[in-house]
Amino acid sequence: MLTLDKLHIVQGEFSLTADLSVPTGARIAVMGPSGAGKSTLFSTIAGFIRPTAGRILWNETDLTRMAPGDRPLSILFQDQNLFPHLSVVQNLGLGIDPKLRLSRADHARITQALARTGLQGLEDRKPAALSGGQQSRVALARALLRARPLLLLDEPFAALGPALKAEMLVLVAEIAAEQGTTILMVSHDPDDARSLCPDTILVADGKTLPPQPTESLLNNPPEALKAYLGP
């Protein structure tokens, strides 16, 4: 279970509170107006921003002061943060060992992750020689290899076309189900939220609300969400 315990985040003029829990294995959409603080919330959970007050817990473990790399999570952004000078295999290897000292078993796991994400044959390509969809797959394969229990998706597939995006979301859902991964996903698309996430966290007006059923939230959106979703 992820617990945000009386969390208070301040970035200059901007401030955001969160006091909620997310059960293990849940798939939760994170929605709210532009600038409401969705990415800031993720950066705080991932450890790139230090909260002003409160705690972040994974089960009984207090993550609040833990280094980002030690936290039990992976985060995927829109720019896939792949290393441009490294091949697909090397980028994946970094998910296992930052010094790329890989055993035969590690290579076998990489081969498996490549197959799982449909990247066979692209092992030696550099990211610049991959399509956007293929880059997304590499980032997802790396997260798969890290096998952390919590996956934060900050619109990693936003630049893809609708069909490819839907395909990636299905893949995420499959992998998450296999690994029992808990997912938080920032989404601007109500259909994505509906298809992948039974519950939604709303971020608006400086507050992060606890998860509530996605369907009823979208069918009867509060003002802040109405403006964001458009007509």
Ligand X SMILES: Nc1ncnc2c1ncn2[C@@H]1O[C@H](COP(=O)(O)OP(=O)(O)OP(=O)(O)O)[C@@H](O)[C@H]1O
Binding site for ligand X (CB under 6 A): 11-12, 14, 32, 34-40
Q: Which is nearer to ligand X, 145 or 201 (CB)?
A: 201
Q: Which is nearer to ligand X, 66 or 224 (CB)?
A: 224
CB of 177 to ligand X, least distance (A): 27
Region for residue 205 given its phi and psi (left: phi exceeds 0; alpha: psi -120 to 50; beta: otherwise)? left
**Cβ pair 185, 28 in contact under 8 A:** yes
Q: Which is nearer to ligand X, 33 or 198 (CB)?
A: 33
Beta-strand relationship, 14-22 and 207-208 = parallel
Cα gap 211→134, rounded to integer Å: 32
Q: Which is nearer to ligand X, 96 or 202 (CB)?
A: 202
CB of 16 to ligand X, least distance (A): 7
CB of 39 to ligand X, least distance (A): 3
Query: What is each CA distance from 196 to 52, 79, 153, 190, in whole angstroms?
Result: 32, 21, 12, 10
CB of 36 to ligand X, least distance (A): 4
Cα gap 231→204, rounded to integer Å: 19
Q: Which is nearer to ligand X, 158 or 166 (CB)?
A: 158
* Beta strand segments in the chain, E: 2-11, 14-22, 27-31, 53-58, 61-62, 73-76, 150-154, 182-186, 199-204, 207-208, 212-213
Nearest alpha-carbon partner for 222 in 4, 36, 10: 36
**Cβ pair 152, 42 in contact under 8 A:** yes
Q: Which is nearer to ligand X, 102 or 203 (CB)?
A: 203
CB of 162 to ligand X, least distance (A): 19
CB of 221 to ligand X, least distance (A): 16
Rounded to 10 degrees, what is the CA torsion of 205, 211, 214, 220?
A: -50
Q: Which is nearer to ligand X, 77 or 113 (CB)?
A: 77
CB of 35 to ligand X, least distance (A): 4
